[in-house]
Structure 1
Amino acid sequence: MFGSESGIEWDILSTQTIFGSSSRNMAESAAKRRTDSGGSGDLNVEVKKLKPDHGDGRQEAESGNILSAFKTSAVLNDSAREKIIFIHGKVADQDAVVILEKTPIRQDSLDELFSGSTLKLEMRNDIYSTYRLQAPPHLNEIKTTVVCPATEKHVKKYQRQESFLVEETAEDYQSITLPYIQKQSFSVQWVYNVLEKKAEAERILYEDPDPQVGFLLLPDFKWDQKQVDDLYLLAIVHQRNIKSLRDLRSEHLPLLQNVLQKGKEQILQRYKLPASQLRVYLHYQPSYYHLHVHFTKLGYEAPGCGVERAHLLTDVIQNLQSDPRYYETRTLYFPLRADDGLLGKFKEAGKL
């Protein structure tokens, strides 16, 4: 899935930094906000440094280059196709993961890109020629995400690993998956901070405040919001008792239909993208256990949009209309990485 790439010069101009427990969990979900590549430690860029939060999602910002003293330990993963690299190292003696991702070329910047860049000829043969283009700095950005302090779990999350496809029956969910989820007590406090507007309130694009069918719509951190070609939004529902696809019943149809309809309306209004150009889906397994829906542009191959993990919301709605307990009873398939604790539980049960 991931390859390697060397010899690319990237100027780092846009930086996002994630510190503290609630923001750290947000980084896990969204890497997602990877989701999903090797690296010098001296990154000359002015960034906003976030101090640990106060427990309610509030954070203090100060100016500074937190990466100027970053010491690289290892490249965890990289992708030549996606132009992304995951680096493990230390910032001020604290473990950190730095994610560098080349931002897409924007159509509205093409004229300036062509007129303001310099070209160095590398090869010419008949009608073909190749160049190394040096773009103006403000058109040559790298989105930078910092997870610090990073735990061993974070390091493993971003490390290249083999994946396995798991077959989960309804009985497996009750005897293996659900007990594992409950025992791990995965925190979704960062989600509650967003819902209660204690964190990321300025990023909310739309809210339906209804406690039963309402939701918040906000950009996923993988999207820099500068072009619609890689549009990626999340709808986080207000209901707090729906962990995943497995919990959905016919009683949730009004909620799902509301998210689908109003989400599409907002995207059409804001970004002029019709429903026919959207991919709207849920993940199973999800990266965090609070129901949320992904909205991406159809042509964007977002991490996790493959058939082994993504379930189209329209299919989910139709399945629940035909069988109120569809997701409670059916066998579901999903990929797990080699180091995932849930994969270990399936192996222990003799399911793999």
Structure 2
Amino acid sequence: MRFIRGSALLGLAAFSIAASNVVGTAMAADYEVRQFGGGPAWFVYDEPVDVALHVLEPGDPKCHEIGEIILLFENRDQLRDGALIERAALTGMNRYAELCRSLGANPSNQRKISGFIVGMGEPDAQGRVMGDARILDAIVSSLTGTYRLTVRRNSVAATGADNGLAATLAERNRALAAQKAGREATSQTRDKDRSADVAAIRATYDTVLAESMANAQKPGLLGRLTGGERAALNGVWSSSKPECSKERVILFERDGAGTVEWWRASSEEIGLLPWRTGRWELRDGTIIMNFDHRVEYDRFRQDLRSGAVDETVQLDLKSVTDSELRLSATGGGISPEALFLGGAEKLFTRCPE
């Protein structure tokens, strides 16, 4: 289209000057200048889609002061033609490069593109296309010498695609809903199976725990008088009363020999399991525990792991009273005893019966 038609639509005066008349510089092409009240101007080139360069100082143009390239569309249909937009943007880039070289400067390899429909929007006093009038945003760039256009926003084309997009989104939402329903059904089945597994574990070990705690009753006065420190050790111990729900060391006599069961909670859901079990004896102020079996819950595999072990720890008996038991590790450094105690020394409290 001729810019003369475009200028009538713009509704502002435009005047034509030859490029050679601007500060005596020989230009590669003629353009028309549209001046704005704030000082900047557009250098507008007559093309199938008119192209404008935003120039900060039109009386003394400099390459580094040339702003974005503005495409002046005649109607909305042009904005649905991707090939037309690309040709217009690349033409604008060439006009920008020509102007820079005519000014004795090297053009940038990247320029911002904006677009608006003449008569349906107006630039501001600085010649900038802003707000709803700005219906196209793009970038022309080159890293290899060949310009490429990247359209970031085309509000007209997006509006024309609304129906198709809505159908696509609806279909995607239906597929996602079906997938979600399938996952929920699988999850519910898995949760039921897991609940059954947990119930079976607890049915087994709750009974064992109750029997062991019954065997580990705190000795009476007569028992302590006749059994001494060994009898005083019988009981259910933990680092504190609240911790009894997470860890218990149970010491009791069975068939004339000391039995030790170290129960720990693998998780809040699974609860206490006999982490280590075996025999214990008190010898010269030292408690010797020989563990020969373990039961642990594998959180990753979500199943029980049990089997034989061969572990021995020796713990110095520092003191034992009716309510407290203090043990310390006998080995130096990071010893098995320290690992079992969680430190060099540990004070246990008798758990409620």
Report which of the two has the higher share of strand: 2
Question: Do the structures match in fold with TM over 0.5?
Answer: no
Higher relative contact order (CA 8 A, sep 6+): 1
Answer 1 or 2: which has greater helix percent. Answer: 2
TM-score range, shorter chain: under 0.3
